[in-house]
């Protein structure tokens, strides 16, 4: 056994553990929201605001930094950035677990998002650097296989922890595996880094515009329900946030090293696929959060029961998405990307039939809709990822996958921020009905954009680095079959 073999094994373990914990945390937080708001919030409006911030605080930091994470990793060294991400995520998880108030929990969630922004890109980049050829594909295959189980075990594990221990344990369980991962990373050689970039190649202005723009806009959307739409802080935040987001594309056209190169959108399929991504992942984030909260807060199910109820979505996606990806690779992605969202939207339209005063039956009123949603999502995500990656030159597949991942994060972030406006301040029967119909409309828009915008062509991704498709893995389903 060679020393390089030992380093490779340790590297795979480090990459798997780091990503698994980050993915697991993302898949269980929704289940803990009712328990968190019960501990910290005084009334329904305050509870909904807190729940939105717990989700969006994480997504804000992640969405603002995910596009520059690769450049930061190259500038400061991938191993150093990975360790920083591990340390930040572990510290933030501990702070979440012991947070004595809602604002401190939200702050800790923001730090978690900061750590997560560096974990997956750095670990994948290190795998890409250490391995090559068939060994690289095998290493990333191991990574996707093991980390993918986080989506399947997450809902059940999260429910059990919340019901039998406390919501704090969904964060507390992260600390030990992250500490182990941090220790194992000390066994990796310091030379694990890419060719250094200059720190001046980091698009700091673009990152600041994104962070301020998203934070201001999201603050206004969430806090208007508590402070009022005309409150000075809401108005100023909205104007500043929207202004920064409008300036961002202007800056990217002039920046020497833009984090979102405008010319990459010259490809019709790339532009259309990202437009579809906006509607698709806005629907995914809004829809799953609505269902999870409705099951617990309105119907009175336990966190464990709610986790079991939503389990068909990750399970079906885990097993079916690669198969639909392979089919779309042979026949072209257009109609999979058009019909899949329509099927998912039909699932949420079915859920709108739940009414107050009638006897609730999960098996006939919600399960069919969840299964339709899972089938539609499985039909869409892998063809979409393959389309994004095949639409750009293989040398730019890394930035292409990063942009698509960032688009999906920001879409989910904005959708969650709009949730209170959509449901009318409470996720009761009427609010849930409005929410799922809006979700269905978002999916229908994703299908329409795909049907009109996507040019149907075979997606040959054989030349795309495995790390590029793997970088899109932590959203809803596996990357396209290779």
pLDDT for 194 beyond 60: no
Instruction: Check residue 199 and give its pLDDT.
Output: 63
Range 424-429, long-range pairs (CB < 8 A, 24+ positions): 425/44, 425/45, 425/48, 425/225, 426/44, 426/48, 427/48, 427/290, 427/293, 427/294, 427/297, 427/298, 428/298, 428/356, 429/298, 429/354, 429/355, 429/356
- Please choose, from the candidates 475, 418, 442, the residue with its C-alpha nearest in 3D space to the C-alpha of residue 349: 442
pLDDT for 139 beyond 90: no
Mean pLDDT in the chain?
84
How many helices (H) and strands (E) in the chain?
A: 20, 0
Using an 8 Å Cβ cutoff, are 31 and 18 in contact? no
Q: What is the pLDDT of residues 403-423, one digit of tens each?
A: 888 888 889 999 999 998 898
Q: What is the pLDDT of residues 199-235, one digit of tens each?
A: 667 788 888 999 999 999 999 999 888 888 889 999 9
Instruction: Check residue 436 and give its pLDDT.
Output: 94
Q: What is the pLDDT of residues 282-337, one digit of tens each?
A: 999 999 999 999 999 888 889 999 988 888 888 888 788 778 877 877 788 888 89
pLDDT for 341 beyond 60: yes
Instruction: Check residue 105 and give its pLDDT.
Output: 94
Label residue 242 by pLDDT band (50, 70, 90).
Answer: very high
Most confident of 27-31, 320-324, 370-374: 370-374
Label residue 1 by pLDDT band (50, 70, 90).
Answer: very low
| Cα 157 from Cα 310, distance rounded (Å) | 13
Label residue 459 by pLDDT band (50, 70, 90).
Answer: low
- Please choose, from the candidates 284, 479, 303, 286, the residue with its C-alpha nearest in 3D space to the C-alpha of residue 400: 479
Instruction: Check residue 328 and give its pLDDT.
Output: 77
- DSSP letter assigned to residue 360: P
pLDDT for 359 beyond 70: yes
133: left (phi over 0), alpha (psi -120 to 50) or beta: left
Using an 8 Å Cβ cutoff, are 419 and 290 in contact? yes
Both tokens of 83, joined, read 């360790």
Of the listed ranges 155-159, 210-214, 434-438, the one predicted with least confidence: 155-159
Both tokens of 314, joined, read 């990750």
Instruction: Check residue 481 and give its pLDDT.
Output: 47
Most confident of 41-50, 125-134, 260-269, 341-350: 341-350
């Amino acid at each position: 056994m060679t020393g390089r073999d030992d380093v490779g094994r340790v590297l795979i373990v480090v990459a798997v553990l780091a990503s698994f914990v980050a993915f697991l945390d993302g898949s269980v937080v929704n289940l803990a929201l009712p328990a968190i708001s019960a501990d910290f919030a005084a009334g329904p409006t305050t509870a909904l605001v807190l729940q939105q911030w717990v989700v969006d605080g994480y997504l804000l930091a992640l969405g603002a930094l995910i596009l520059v994470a690769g450049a930061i990793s190259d500038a400061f060294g991938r191993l150093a950035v990975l360790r920083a991400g591990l340390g930040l995520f572990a510290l933030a998880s501990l702070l979440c677990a012991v947070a004595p108030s809602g604002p401190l929990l939200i702050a800790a969630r923001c730090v978690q998002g900061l750590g997560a922004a560096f974990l997956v890109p750095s670990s994948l980049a290190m795998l890409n650097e250490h391995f090559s050829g068939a060994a690289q594909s095998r290493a990333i295959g191991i990574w996707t296989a093991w980390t993918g189980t986080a989506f399947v075990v997450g809902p059940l594990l999260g429910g059990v922890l919340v019901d039998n221990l406390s919501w704090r344990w969904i964060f507390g369980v992260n600390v030990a595996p992250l500490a182990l991962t941090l220790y194992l990373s000390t066994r990796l050689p310091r030379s694990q880094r890419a060719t250094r970039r200059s720190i001046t190649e980091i698009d700091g202005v673009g990152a600041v515009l994104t962070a301020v723009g998203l934070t201001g806009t999201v603050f206004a959307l969430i806090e208007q329900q508590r402070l009022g739409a005309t409150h000075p802080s809401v108005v100023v935040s909205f104007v500043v946030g929207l202004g920064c987001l409008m300036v961002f594309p202007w800056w990217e056209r002039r920046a020497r090293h833009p984090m979102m190169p405008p010319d990459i959108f010259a490809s019709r399929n790339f532009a259309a696929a990202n437009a579809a991504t906006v509607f698709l992942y806005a629907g995914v984030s809004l829809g799953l959060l609505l269902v999870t909260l409705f099951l617990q807060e309105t119907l009175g199910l336990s966190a464990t029961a709610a986790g079991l109820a939503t389990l068909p979505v990750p399970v079906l996606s885990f097993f079916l998405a690669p198969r639909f990806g392979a089919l779309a690779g042979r026949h072209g992605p257009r109609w999979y990307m058009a019909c899949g969202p329509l099927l998912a939207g039909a699932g949420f339209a079915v859920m709108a039939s739940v009414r107050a005063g009638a006897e609730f039956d999960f098996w006939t009123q919600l399960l069919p809709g969840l299964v339709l949603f899972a089938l539609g999502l499985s039909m869409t995500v892998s063809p979409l990822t393959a389309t994004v990656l095949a639409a750009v030159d293989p040398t730019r597949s890394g930035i292409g996958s990063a942009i698509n991942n960032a688009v999906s994060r920001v879409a989910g972030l904005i959708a969650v921020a709009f949730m209170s406006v959509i449901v009318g301040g409470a996720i009761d029967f009427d609010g849930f009905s409005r929410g799922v119909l809006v979700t269905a409309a978002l999916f229908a828009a994703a299908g329409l954009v795909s049907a009109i915008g996507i040019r149907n062509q075979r997606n040959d991704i054989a030349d795309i680095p495995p790390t590029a498709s793997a970088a899109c893995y932590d959203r809803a389903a596996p990357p396209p079959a290779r």
